[in-house]
Amino acid sequence: MKKAVIFLSFATLVFSGCETIVAVDTPPHTPRLALTYTLSNQAPSSEYQNFFEGRELFVSVSQGALEVKQPTGRGDASVELVNEAGQTVEQFRSKARQGYNYTTGRPDSIYGYYVPARGFVGEPGQTYTLRASVPGVEAVEAKLTLPARAVIETGGYAIRQSNQLPSDAYPGRLTCSILDNAATTDYYLAYARVLDRNGQYWGYVQLDYNSNNNPEINLTRPQFSVSQSNYSQYPFSDAGGNGQRLNLSTDVYLRYGGRYDPASTYSKPGFIEIIVSSITPEAYRFYQSLQRYYDTDGNPFAEPAPLFSNVRPGYGLFGGSTDVTYRIAL
């Protein structure tokens, strides 16, 4: 035993004194334009843009794998949307945001967002091309056809009791049934929001993580997504159920999202609005790959999780979404 201890001590000293420096060549990198944008059949009003923040146009430029600087957006991009006839139907302007040094011209992480200047509304069945360029980088483009509208058969909200939530959280079971078209392969995202009794935005629907009735997140099962967060996009398809009803059902509660004034009482919720989005195959693949990428959580031993891209010769997503709504009175 004593000999073994002496040997291990000697081995530790030998190997601790060994140090090998390996020179690693920096992989070649050509900066490419990178962007994300989702075209919809809804008018891009301020209410729409606030609810669907993840759909707005963001433009940046790729950087090498070993670069340590914080990636930033580009505020000098030229972007246009072109229809099948070759006509420019939409252009974009840089989005000003107060409080982020926008007026000083100093770029930061918020720099690079754009808003549509013409208020164009996409039409299902029509094909559109997005073209973008910035100085010093090769221009890119991507093409899509807006999918047909989904058919929401039923929707409901059943109030339930919860010992873990206050009464003014309005806990309940939210359900939705989609009639799927048997003739096509379809891809969906589903959202929900809360309106007051006048039909104005009241707040948002929050998944009840304390409920034992909610299954684990599974990208093969229909479930509600969060419109403001790219991390919480859960696309689903009719694979395995083509032509059948696609059913969503989950325990949730309602959260007030307006400005609270202690001097007055805020309005009561009046409606839940379910939004079912028929999305393009490219958007479906992008959000699936994005979820897998987030799930690696920076683990160097995880399986590679490259992001899908349909922007050529750059990176990113030009997605399409055709939205339909179903209103439930509370």
pLDDT at residue 3 tops 70: no
Per-residue pLDDT tens over the stretch 16-53 = 555 677 666 767 889 999 999 999 999 999 889 889 98
pLDDT value, residue 24: 64
More confident residue, 214 or 98: 214
Predicted structure pTM score = 0.84
DSSP secondary structure of 126-176: -EEEEEEEETTEEEEEEEEEPPPPPEEEEEEEEE---SSS-GGG--EEEEE
Domain boundaries, the chain: 27-146, 151-279
Q: Residue 289: helix, strand or coil by DSSP? A: helix
The predicted pLDDT at position 261 comes to 61
Pick the closest to residue 40 from 129, 124, 118 (CA basis): 124
Q: Answer yes or no: same fold for 27-146 and 151-279.
A: yes
**Of 4-8, 166-170, 194-198, 218-222, the least confident:** 4-8
pLDDT tens-digit profile of 82-115?
A: 999 999 999 999 885 544 444 444 444 467 999 9
CB 321 within 8 A of CB 189: yes
Domain 27-146 has CATH 2.60.40: yes
Q: What pLDDT, on a 0 to 100 scale, did the predictor assign at position 19?
A: 65
145 vs 71, more confident? 145
Structure tokens, 8? 């291990």
- What CATH number has the domain spanning 151-279? 2.60.40
Region 142-150 average pLDDT: 98
What separation in angstroms does the CA of 21 have from each of 41, 67, 232?
57, 20, 42
Cα gap 326→244, rounded to integer Å:
19
